[in-house]
Structure 1
Amino acid sequence: MNSGDMLYQLVFLIFICGIFSGVFFLVRSLVTKQPSKSGNIEQKLDRIIDLLEKDKKN
């Protein structure tokens, strides 16, 4: 095996690892954004419930 073949395989291996890393971080960022949205929804629902309870008391 000559040095050109080894260089080609090394570059190709780095390229493949880069693609898998990119997909991994893309999926991870999409998954981690979901809980914050549900947290905001829960806070809004809690506020609505509190306002409805105050309205019933009055």
Structure 2
Amino acid sequence: MNSGDMLYQLVFLIFIFGLFSGVFFLVRSLITKQPSKSENIEQKLDRIIDLLEKDNKN
């Protein structure tokens, strides 16, 4: 087996591994569907604003 064949097999193995990893992470992200970080930040900011408004009224 010469070095060209070994290089080809190595590149193809890395490609196959990357393809399976990409599909795995895509499926995992679609299944978990966590609320986005921006929504969480908006909710926290709304809560802080509400608390500040209550504090200013008192």
Normalized against structure 1, the TM-score is what?
Answer: 0.58
Residue ranges of structure 2 left out of the alignment (5+ in a row): none
Residue 8 of structure 1 and its aligned partner are, at CA, apart by 0.2
Higher alpha-carbon deviation: 24-33 or 43-52: 43-52
Residue 27 of structure 1 and its aligned partner are, at CA, apart by 0.1
The percentage of aligned residue pairs carrying the same residue is 91
More helix by share: 1
Partner of 2:2: 2
Residue 3 of structure 1 and its aligned partner are, at CA, apart by 0.2
Partner of 2:35: 35
Higher alpha-carbon deviation: 7-16 or 35-44: 35-44
Runs of 4+ in 1 over 3 A off after TM superposition: 34-58
RMSD: 5.5
Count of residues in correspondence between the two structures: 58
Alpha-carbon distance change, 38 to 32 in structure 1, aligned in 2, over 3 angstroms: farther
